[in-house]
């Protein structure tokens, strides 16, 4: 008896449709899975069998062959189990094949017949929808997330037994539950109004939030670098639907996202400085490539505190993804592109002892060695580099995140209007060749720009950085023309640090 | 001075454990480098327990003699090195006890630097922008007045002093701790060649001597002995510049120190020297007067700001001679950030301000 059901499997942060086929034939009882399954898929046998038996359903005591097509793609994880179980029900003529026509099935099984949630449902349902599937059976816990995909009917499954009855129209399908509230909003809510003084660093923060520029803060411990950097997402414009779906999909794949709600706030990822290259840019085995922190931070902020403590090889591995805003991961026979469109914010101390200037006794050799941990090409990726000095206690508190975010949103809209029809979304992304047109400098601004380039001996890349940042500053001020003060300010935000 | 004598003198530096004290004693007993080499070959060097010339040393010298002579001959064949021996008419160092070198290697295009008044300008390798500016000002004035600026080729004050002297069209002498063929620090390879062009590089160590911790303080006594006075621009409480100052005091040279803020750790050494009786150098012009070498009457520095905008003037005034961050200046001046940034750049362009480590330093 032959049966087939469509399911999907994760490939990086994308889903791929998998056809699950079962053949129940005469012969000694056996169960084999073919089609490049990993260990979790192969172990499905025990879970499928126990789930069927404890739900009062039949387990064929003959020869069972499960094929996962396409045969050349590696399959991983437990999300194919529900599809295998339903296939067996169809093969046993318990459920009509027509009931699963045009339906995709996702889910892991418990021994008691419960349907368990799986990671990456959004990506998987998305893939099924693109393959023309109109209905998906998903674990009830994932139903809210699956419902984020438009034009697909979501059928929540709670237990194997209930699912069988629903498929046979003996029971109505359960309601799709709403997203669980608030579980993904981790950490305390922070606000920019808690930061006193630091006008220059604040300006840099808003510029980064508006124009998507990478930002480096250098300064003594306690100056407020980390405080500022952590508040960057609070002044960024909320994610539009496309970006929100991308972020939700990526976070769901890695199991970070469980509420089922759309992630609307830009994410902040702050990996520890002991992180490996794979942890930061992504990697893992050919069976299961895991996105790295830079992908998890896509559309949001990747925050590297104590950046000089990261291994130099790790930082240099970030260079290409930061430039191209995608990560290419290659493993045996597989090449994969993961999104990496994040703003990088890094903090570092001026010297390894990190004492205030008057107490620092680091020799120039030690300082130099510390500085060299950050390679020149890596430092070059930062359009904004600001030295932060601790503000005095009597400095007034600054504007709140909400007020500043309104300015940023306006600046982002101006950019989107100007950059529509180009491959870029933010000023920081604009290629050098298009700067003349998209970040035009005229009159006094042009003269000042030439002065600044000469005075600071800027390289071509450095000059382009100043030009882009000046454009963003003009957008923040809500003006069409970049003025000479914008150029000056942009140059001041690109200090020679650390 | 003939070439054979020079080669003989340079050969002495190649001998094992040929310290300045031993060489001075042996040279004075034999009469000259060639005679000394002959005496070594014959084993006829006078043993001198006071200068620690023992049997061991003499036999060590004798064994190394042939190799040393061969190496020196081939090295000097390719280099335009002048070798000076103590008691030569050109000998530039203060006559003194045995701790000063007996042989000096000299390379460079301006041999006349040895016959001009020489002033040492030294200090920390980590100067503040004020220290850097002071070093340049003092060295520039000295060079302008025809004096030779002596320093140690190091990063920081030393480098600034050499550079300013060359830029002012003057002569400068760099005293190397390493061998004259080992340019150190690496970042100053370019400066080494510029000093060779506009002055001399002087050293007491054999060719090929690598940098090591001990040789730098030892070198500083040559700086003190070469110069008639020493200017300490900025110095931490401990460090090479303080060695130079102490050596200069031992040699009865005048030590000038530029006073600094007690908050500046790089001024601590200078302030301590002043407390101990060094001459305060309040105005760099004073050094010209003190040296007495044809002051040109150039004003040291325009005190007044001219030709800058009102905002720039306000920013400069608000700094009141001390460093401050951009944020602090914004708080003091009641000007928007962009204007202060513009004013700071304007001052920088006019040479009246320097940015360093996130702070604005008025000059």
At B235-278, the pLDDT tens digits run: 988 888 999 999 999 888 999 999 998 888 889 999 999 999 89
Instruction: Write down which residue in B291, B320, B354 finishes a domain.
Output: B291
The secondary element (H helix, E strand) that includes residue B175 is strand B172-176
Residues B116, B46, single domain; the answer is no
What pTM does this model have?
A: 0.79
Tokens of A240: 């539009």
Cis peptide before B185 (omega within 30 of 0): yes
Q: Which of A353, A357, A364 is nearest to B239 (CA)?
A: A364
Residues B283, B136, single domain; the answer is yes
pLDDT of B138: 93
> Is B328 within a domain?
yes
| Residue B301 pLDDT greater than 80, yes or no | no
> Is B206 within a domain?
yes
> Is B41 within a domain?
yes
Q: Structural domain tally of chain B? A: 3
B337 to chain A, any CB pair closer than 8 A? The answer is yes
Q: Which domain holds residue B42?
A: 3-79
Which string of b and e fits B282-311 if b means at least 16 CB within 10 Å? eebbbbbeebebeeeeeeeeeeeeeebeeb
ipTM reported for the complex surpasses 0.90:
no
pLDDT band at B99 (very low <50, low <70, confident <90, very high): confident
Judge contact between A422 and A437, C-beta under 8 A: no
Mean pLDDT confidence for A240-252: 90
pLDDT of A188: 53
In chain B, the DSSP E strands lie at: 82-85, 103-107, 118-122, 148-151, 172-176, 199-203, 229-232, 254-257, 279-280, 324-325, 353-356, 359-362
pLDDT of B297: 54
Residues B27, B145, single domain; the answer is no
Sheet holding A14-25, edge to edge: A30-34, A63-69, A14-25, A2-11, A103-105, A135-139, A153-157
pLDDT band at B71 (very low <50, low <70, confident <90, very high): very high
> Residue B352's domain is classified under what CATH number?
1.10.10.10
What is the architecture, at CATH level 2, of domain A2-167? 2-Layer Sandwich (3.30)
- Which of B325, B332, B333, B343 has the highest number of chain A CBs within 10 A, making it the mutation to test binding with A? B325
Cβ contacts of B349 on chain A, cutoff 8 Å: 451, 455
| Residue B17 pLDDT greater than 80, yes or no | yes
Residues B279, B314, single domain; the answer is no
Tell me whether residue A19 is exposed, middle or buried, using C-beta atoms within 10 angstroms of its C-beta: 0 to 12, 13 to 18, 19 or more. Answer: middle
The answer to which of A23-32, A453-462, B168-177 has the lowest mean pLDDT is A453-462
Residues B266, B119, single domain; the answer is yes
| Residue B300 pLDDT greater than 60, yes or no | no
pLDDT tens across B119-160, in order?
A: 999 999 888 889 999 999 999 999 988 899 999 999 999 999
Relative to beta strand B199-203, strand B172-176 is: parallel
pLDDT of B148: 94
pLDDT of B162: 96
Residues B286, B338, single domain; the answer is no
pLDDT of A22: 92
Q: Which residue has the tokens 């090295």?
A: B75
Q: How far apart are CA B40 and CA B26, in angstroms?
A: 10
Which of B264, B331, B338 is nearest residue A488 as measured by Cβ atoms? Answer: B338
> Is B296 within a domain?
no
Residues B160, B269, single domain; the answer is yes
Relative to beta strand B148-151, strand A326-331 is: unpaired
pLDDT band at A425 (very low <50, low <70, confident <90, very high): confident
- Which of A200, A370, A477 has the highest number of chain B CBs within 10 A, making it the mutation to test binding with B? A200
Asked if the Cβ–Cβ distance from A199 to B326 is below 8 Å, we say yes
pLDDT tens across A261-319, in order?
A: 888 889 999 999 999 988 998 887 766 788 899 999 999 999 999 898 899 899 989 98
Total number of residues shown for chain B: 363
> Is B86 within a domain?
no
Please tell me the distance in Å from A322's CA to the nearest CA on chain B: 26
| Residue B226 pLDDT greater than 90, yes or no | yes
Residues B55, B191, single domain; the answer is no
Q: At a CB cut-off of 8 Å and minimum separation 6, what does B193 contact?
A: none
Average pLDDT, chain B: 88
| Residue A116 pLDDT greater than 90, yes or no | yes
CATH tag for A192-390+398-492 (out of 3.40.50.1820, 3.40.50.300, 3.90.226.10, 3.40.50.1970): 3.40.50.300
Residues B47, B194, single domain; the answer is no
pLDDT more than 70, % of chain A? 97
B249 to chain A, any CB pair closer than 8 A? The answer is no
| Residue ranges per structural domain of chain A | 2-167, 192-390+398-492
Instruction: Write down which residue in B79, B102, B135 finishes a domain.
Output: B79
pLDDT tens across A139-181, in order?
A: 999 999 999 998 899 999 999 999 999 998 898 998 888 777 6
pLDDT of A1: 79
Mean pLDDT confidence for B294-315: 71
- C-beta atoms surrounding A64 within 10 Å: 25
Asked if the Cβ–Cβ distance from A485 to B339 is below 8 Å, we say yes
- Which of B358, B360, B361 has the highest number of chain A CBs within 10 A, making it the mutation to test binding with A? B358
Residues B224, B271, single domain; the answer is yes
A394 to chain B, any CB pair closer than 8 A? The answer is no
B299 to chain A, any CB pair closer than 8 A? The answer is no
Which of A199, A452, A488 is nearest residue B327 as measured by Cβ atoms? Answer: A199
Residues B287, B314, single domain; the answer is no
Judge contact between B30 and B101, C-beta under 8 A: no
- Distance in Å from the first CA to the final CA of chain A: 70
> Is B7 within a domain?
yes
Instruction: Write down which residue in B79, B101, B136 finishes a domain.
Output: B79
Relative to beta strand B148-151, strand B254-257 is: unpaired
| Residue A355 pLDDT greater than 80, yes or no | no
């Amino acid at each position: 008896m032959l049966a087939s059901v469509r399911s999907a499997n994760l490939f990086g942060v994308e889903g791929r449709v998998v056809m699950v086929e079962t053949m129940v034939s005469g012969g000694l009882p056996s169960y084999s899975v073919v089609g490049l399954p990993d260990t979790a898929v192969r172990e499905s046998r025990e879970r499928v069998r126990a789930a069927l038996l404890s739900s009062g359903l039949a387990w064929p005591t003959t020869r069972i062959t499960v094929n996962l097509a396409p045969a050349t793609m590696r399959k991983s994880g437990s999300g194919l189990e529900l599809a295998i179980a339903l296939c067996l029900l169809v093969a046993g003529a318990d459920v009509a094949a027509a009931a699963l026509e045009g339906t995709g099935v996702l889910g892991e099984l418990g021994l008691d017949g419960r349907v368990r949630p799986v990671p990456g449902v959004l990506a998987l349902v998305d893939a099924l929808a693109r393959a023309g599937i109109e209905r998906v059976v998903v674990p009830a816990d994932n139903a809210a997330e699956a419902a984020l995909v438009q034009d697909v009917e979501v059928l929540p499954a709670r237990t194997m037994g209930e699912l069988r009855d629903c498929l046979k129209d003996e029971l109505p399908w359960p309601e799709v539950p709403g997203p669980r509230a608030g579980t993904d909003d981790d950490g305390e809510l922070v606000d920019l109004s808690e930061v006193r003084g630091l006008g220059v660093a604040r300006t840099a923060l808003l510029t980064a939030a508006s124009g998507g520029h990478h930002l480096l803060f250098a300064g003594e411990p306690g100056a407020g670098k980390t405080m500022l950097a952590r508040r960057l997402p609070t002044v960024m414009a909320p994610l539009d639907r496309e970006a929100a779906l991308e972020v939700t999909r990526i976070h769901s794949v890695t199991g970070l996202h469980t509420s089922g709600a759309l992630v609307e706030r830009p994410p902040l990822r702050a990996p520890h400085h002991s992180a490996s290259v794979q942890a930061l840019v992504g990697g893992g085995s050919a069976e299961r490539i895991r996105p790295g922190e830079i992908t998890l931070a896509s559309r949001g902020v990747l925050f590297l505190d104590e950046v000089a403590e990261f291994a130099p090889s790790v930082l240099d591995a970030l260079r290409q993804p930061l430039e191209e805003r995608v990560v290419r991961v290659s493993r045996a026979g597989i090449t994969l592109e993961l999104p990496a469109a994040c703003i990088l914010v890094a903090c570092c101390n001026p010297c390894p002892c990190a004492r205030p200037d008057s107490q620092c006794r680091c020799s120039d050799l030690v300082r130099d060695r510390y500085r060299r941990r950050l390679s020149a090409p890596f430092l070059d990726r930062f359009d904004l580099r600001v030295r932060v000095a601790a503000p005095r206690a009597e400095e007034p508190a600054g504007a709140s995140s909400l007020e500043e975010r309104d300015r940023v949103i306006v600046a982002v809209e101006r950019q989107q209007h100007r950059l529509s029809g180009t491959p870029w979304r933010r000023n920081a992304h604009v290629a050098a060749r298009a700067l003349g047109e998209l970040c035009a400098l005229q009159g006094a601004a042009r003269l000042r720009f030439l002065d600044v380039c000469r005075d600071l001996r800027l390289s071509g890349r450095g000059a382009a950085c100043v030009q882009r940042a000046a454009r963003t500053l003009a957008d923040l001020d809500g003006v069409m023309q970049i003025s000479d003060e914008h150029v000056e300010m942009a140059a001041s935000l690109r200090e020679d640090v650390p | 001075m003939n070439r054979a004598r020079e080669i003989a003198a340079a050969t002495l530096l190649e001998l094992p454990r040929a310290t300045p004290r031993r060489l001075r004693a042996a040279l004075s007993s034999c009469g000259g480098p060639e005679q000394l080499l002959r005496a070594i070959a014959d084993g006829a060097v006078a043993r001198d327990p006071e200068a620690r010339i023992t049997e061991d040393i003499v036999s060590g010298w004798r064994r190394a003699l042939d190799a040393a002579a061969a190496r020196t001959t081939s090295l000097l064949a390719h280099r335009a090195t002048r070798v000076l021996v103590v008691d030569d008419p050109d000998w530039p160092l203060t006559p003194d006890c045995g701790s000063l070198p007996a042989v000096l290697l000299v390379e460079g295009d301006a041999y006349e630097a040895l016959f001009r008044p020489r002033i040492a300008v030294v200090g920390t390798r980590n100067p503040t922008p004020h220290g850097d500016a002071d070093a340049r000002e003092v060295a520039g004035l000295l060079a302008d007045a025809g004096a030779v600026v002596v320093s140690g080729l190091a990063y920081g004050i030393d480098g600034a002093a050499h550079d300013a002297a060359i830029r002012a069209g003057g002569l400068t002498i760099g005293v190397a701790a390493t061998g004259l063929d080992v340019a150190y620090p690496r970042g100053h390879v370019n400066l080494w060649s510029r000093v060779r062009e506009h002055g001399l590089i002087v050293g007491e160590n054999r060719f090929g001597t690598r940098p090591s911790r001990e040789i730098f303080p030892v070198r500083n006594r040559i700086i003190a002995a070469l110069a008639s006075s020493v200017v300490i621009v900025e110095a931490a409480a401990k460090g090479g510049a303080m060695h130079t100052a102490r050596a200069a005091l031992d040699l009865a040279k005048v030590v000038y120190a530029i006073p600094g803020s007690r908050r500046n750790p790089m001024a601590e050494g200078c302030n301590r020297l002043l407390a101990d009786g060094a001459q305060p150098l309040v105005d760099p012009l004073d050094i010209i007067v003190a040296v007495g070498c044809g002051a040109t009457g150039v004003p040291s520095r325009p005190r007044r700001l001219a030709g800058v905008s009102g905002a720039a003037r306000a920013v400069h005034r608000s700094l009141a001679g001390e460093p401050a961050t951009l944020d602090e200046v914004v708080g003091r001046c009641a000007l928007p950030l962009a204007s202060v940034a513009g004013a700071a750049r304007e001052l920088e362009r006019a040479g009246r301000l320097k940015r360093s480590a996130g702070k604005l330093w008025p000059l």
